[in-house]
Structure 1
Amino acid sequence: MTSVPAVLAGPALWPAQAHVPSVLGRQLVIERGQGSYIWTADGKKLFDATAGLWHANIGHSRPELADAAADQMTKLETYHIFGRFTNDQALALAERLAAMSPIPDPKVILNSGGSDAIDVACKLARRHWQREGRTTKTVILSREFAYHGLHAFGTSIGGLDFNREGYGTESLVPETARIPLHDLDATAAIIAEIGAENIAALVTEPVQGTGGVHPPQEGYLTGLAELCRDNDILLILDEVITGFGRTGTMFGAERFGVTPDLLTLAKGVTSGYAPLGGVLVSPRIWQPFYLDGDDTPVFRHGATYAGHATAAAVAMANLDILEREGLVERVKDLESLLDTALRDMASRRVSVDEVRVCGLLAGIALTDEYDAVAVTDALIDRGFVVRPLRGNTLQLSPPFITTDDELRTLVAAIDDTLAGEEQK
């Protein structure tokens, strides 16, 4: 009988976003969490400096959210929102999101997460122009190094090339193109080359996350919005990471002074306690689908769990905590502390090339002589979770409930770890 190589006899669960042989046998099995900390199955306590995947804004294991889910499930776990049907929790959450939206008078499309939201937003942008009779406007632009999830549209518009590779074509959805990270003149040239009459929308994160934590340069987002207006291109803001306080305002759109046509949200709306995402839609786009008439068009969106009642109830409880505990305002204080501490550290560390901070988001770009993956592993051994990103960058995005002392301790641990790497 032929023996099976050990690497092929691992757990049944296929690791996400992983070079599988590199992680098998090294996986950290997370068993519980509390506040800003998580524990592995073998009892190791770790400070969660990434808030999971950017989402655990209110911290882990808050009983208020468990209670909200249990209360809702014992009344109605969910009911779909197709056609004439809806449910009270989806209605209530949509009203609340509309009231806090940076887009005036929006409609709210609910779904199950950020990748869902991106797919819906890109489809709706194309549907908008088809309905307008401008049928050549199909191309979706996105930025170099961008990450917009891994559904078909998210994969296609990703600015991280490795996420688009291996599927037989350059892009799963063919009508996509990339623009540079910060260069408005080059972007204008690309628009002219493709032709504004062929471009449906431009998608951007206010602060680029997975691409290496890149805040926008001064005036960049307002300039990008102006380019979109001048060329009649819809602006889609991907606020899956930045929404609900991560930049020190409820949405990044507010911090940077832009009003998009569509805005995608997820992660922070429930702080990860339930899978939920959505799209805020401007009147320009939603009104024609609401006008009374036999020829009123239909936008074919929706999935089984769109407007999931329990997820919506959890989101409402999460938003209550953000407001009651002043956590969005707290992010502003933590940003100042984090920025000062990281820049002080960087002034001493030859291993640090650049520090980028916006709200409670930070990227520490290391010089080429040092390996962000190795530093990440060393920090886990010290009891801190950070994440290596593109550009040899360490990602920090701790929960909003992080204390000043915890933030200082985190930076000190990074400083000590880098000092050790420099001495090797």
Structure 2
Amino acid sequence: MTMTDPVQAPTKARLLDGPALWPAQAHVPTVIGRQLIIERGEGSYVFTSDGRRLFDGTAGLWHANIGHSHPELARAAYEQMMRLETHHIFARFTNDKAHALGERLAGLAPFERAKVILNSGGSDAIDVACKLARRHWQREGRSSKKVILSREFAYHGLHAYGTSIAGLEFNREGYGTDSLVPETARVSFNDAGQVARVVDEIGAENIAAIVTEPIQGTGGVNPPVPGYLEAIQRICRENDILLILDEVITGFGRTGKMFAAERYGIQPDLLTFAKGITSGYAPLGGVLVSPRIWEPFYVDSPATPIFRHGATYAGHATASAVALAHLEILERDQLIPRVGDLERVLHRELAGLDAGHSGVIEVRSAGLLGGVTLADHLSAEAIADDLIELGFISRPLRGNTLQISPPFIISDDELVSYVQAIGHAINERERR
């Protein structure tokens, strides 16, 4: 039996004696025996151990923006490792690449005079941002401001804080309490009036921050309804609540701007990033911090407090070198403006898909992000499996939705073919 054969009445022995690697985000019994082993990638395509060539329509997990196996990034990592693999950035120590990346990111930030906290990924970044929001208010002497609000259907990683503020209920279940960190609550994903009511109910004096993705990803690719983000920003400003923008998916060009904050005219207090900073070539994430938050920690005084952030690989020199090389490629190859061109193609093709298939309930897109919500009689998981057989990768998301987030380097024709393949898979399922 090959790795891609369907599961046929799996036996207990077959499951227990399967691969040692525990599959991530999986109902294990239904994936063992069906896993695709990806051996290599090239541009917008990946190749499996059983000889399949698949168009990577999700850019891995939203991250392979410049495609796979880019030689310049491989060279940047190699050259950096031959000089210095890494050195920590605790206290008096730093390393040249982390230092340079901090300056580069501060120059790209959607607000002035940003400071940069570096770590290993999006879940790390969310953990740091939520803790820093609470630390800010404790330092200010406003000790009741502890609650972190997040949106229904939100996904913010799977560390303890990300799990606690998840708007996807299944990510918070099974731990013996509603929330690993108790001071959290959810608000509507599209109704700013409901957000204002929750703020009144909990009391602004008890709320440290609101966390939001500008465009929800795992929750179903949900762009903000007009005026929603602006209203959230206004609620934060009027109630002295910090605004944390989770740009782990949208940062570094996915919306046609360097950050979605620019696209929607939002100025957060804290902005988290990961994925697109290296196109996934090295694990790296972090937080952009506004002056309001960082300045009190920089005052020249023995009484100045310390914010205890930083893990072993914070400011990893090789990851930072890869990020710097990646940012140069984005700029040199004009890939972010290219996303604007591809956005128009995606919008047009999705509109045709919506109009031409009764099995499609709704399509949504912004930048090079798209979601196709299917009728109840169709399964997004089954359609994603069918797409594999057609040579395309999609991914089922919440709400019976298919994910579309291909690399920035695709051609117009490849994007058209991808959406058409989704339509073909829907047609074939409805004929059965």
TM-score by length of 2: 0.97
**What displacement does 1:328 show?**
0.4
> In the aligned structure 1, how far is the partner of 2:419 from the partner of 2:27?
29
Structure 1 Cα separation of the partners of residues 53 and 45 of structure 2: 7
Partner of 2:422: 414
Report the Cα distance in structure 2 between the residues aligned to 1:328 and 1:302, rounded to whole angstroms: 30
1:349 to 354, 357, 363: 357
* 2:41 aligned residue: 33
* Contact 1:379-1:385 at 8 Å conserved across structures: yes
Shift of 1:106: 0.6
Q: Distance in 2 between matches of 1:193 and 1:84?
A: 45
> Counterpart in 2 of 1:121?
129
**Among residues 80, 92, 95, which one is paired with 1:87 in the alignment?**
95
SS of aligned partner of 1:52:
helix
One-letter amino acid matched to 1:205: E
Alignment of 1:357-372 (within 5 A): 357-372=365-380
Distance 1:191 1:4 in 2: 50
Q: Which residue of 1 aligns with 2:7?
A: none
1:291 aligns with 2:310: no
CA distance, structure 2, for counterparts of residue 301 and residue 129 of structure 1: 16
**Distance in 2, Cα, partners of 1:63 & 1:51:** 17
Query: Could you tell me which of 264, 267, 274 is aligned with 1:266?
Result: 274
> How much does 1:420 deviate?
1.1
1:412 Cα deviation from its structure 2 partner: 1.4
Deviations 1:49-77 (A, max 9, x none): 00000000000000000000000000000
Aligned residue type for 1:234: L
Corresponding residue to 1:257 among 258, 261, 265: 265
Displacement of 1:160: 0.2
* Aligned counterpart, 2:8: none
Aligned residues: 422
What code does the residue aligned with 1:131 have?
A: R
CA shift at 1:126, angstroms? 0.1
Distance 1:109 1:103 in 2: 15
CA deviations on 1:117-164 (whole Å, 9 max, x unpaired) are 000000000000000000000000000000000000000000000000
Question: What does residue range 151-166 of structure 1 map to in structure 2 within 5 Å?
Answer: 151-166=159-174
CA offsets 1:223-281 (integer angstroms, 9 cap, x no match): 11000000100000000000000001000000000000000000000000000000000
Q: Post-superposition shift, 1:103?
A: 1.9
Question: CA separation in 2, counterparts of 1:5 and 1:407?
Answer: 43
Paired residue for 1:70, among 78, 86, 89?
78
Give me the whole-angstrom Cα distance separating, in 2, the residues matched to 1:16 and 1:389: 15
Alignment correspondent of 2:346? 338
Task: Give the structure 2 partner of residue 150 of structure 1.
Answer: 158
For residue 414 of structure 1, give the secondary structure of its aligned residue in structure 2.
helix
1:231 aligns with 2:239: yes
SS in 1 for 2:208: strand
1:110 and 1:274 mapped to 2: Cα distance?
A: 13
Correspondence 1:48 to 2:59: no
CA distance in 2 between partners of 1:4 and 1:340 (Å) = 48
| Structure 2 unmatched ranges of 5 or more | 1-10
* C-alpha separation in 2, matches of 1:182 and 1:246: 21
Give, in angstroms, the shift of residue 4 of structure 1: 6.3
What letter matches 1:18 in structure 2? Answer: A
**Divergent runs of 4+, >2 A:** none
> Amino acid of the residue matched to residue 261 of structure 2?
A
Task: State the Cα RMSD in Å.
Answer: 0.8
Deviation track 1:198-247 (CA, whole Å, cap 9, x = no partner) reads 00000000000000000001111011100000010000000000000000
- Quote the residue 2:332 is aligned against: 324
Query: What letter matches 2:172 in structure 1?
Result: R
Q: Percent identity?
A: 68
In structure 2, which of residues 170, 180, 185 is the aligned counterpart of residue 172 of structure 1? 180
Residue 41 of structure 2 aligns with an amino acid whose one-letter code is: G
Could you tell me which residue of structure 1 aligns to residue 5 of structure 2? none
Equivalent pair of 1:36/1:398 in contact (CA under 8 Å): yes
Q: Which amino acid aligns with 1:105?
A: R
Q: Which of 189, 192, 201 in structure 2 is aligned with 1:184? A: 192
Give the structure 2 partner of residue 12 of structure 1: 20
What is the deviation of 1:290? 0.2
Q: Could you tell me how far apart the structure 2 residues matched to 1:10 and 1:377 are?
A: 21
Distance in 2 of aligned mates of 1:99 and 1:6 = 54
Amino acid at match of 2:205: E
Tell me by how many angstroms 1:104 deviates.
Answer: 1.2
Secondary structure of the 2:61 match is helix
CA-CA distance at 1:342 after TM superposition: 1.1
| Alignment partner, residue 255 of structure 2 | 247
CA distance in 2 between partners of 1:14 and 1:308 (Å): 27
Q: Are 2:137 and 1:112 equivalent residues in the alignment?
A: no
Paired letter, 2:55? F
Secondary structure (helix, strand or coil) at the match of 1:7 reads helix
- CA distance in structure 2 between the aligned counterparts of 1:311 and 1:196, rounded to whole angstroms: 39
Conserved? CA contact 1:103–1:281, under 8 Å:
no
Q: CA deviation at 1:344?
A: 0.8
Q: Whole-Å Cα distance in 2 between the matches of residues 135 and 277 of structure 1?
A: 29
Q: Is the 8 A contact 1:103 1:280 kept in 2?
A: no
> Does the CA contact (< 8 Å) of 1:79 and 1:86 recur in 2?
yes
Aligned equivalent of 2:66, options 58, 62, 76: 58
> Residue 390 in 1 paired to residue 398 in 2?
yes
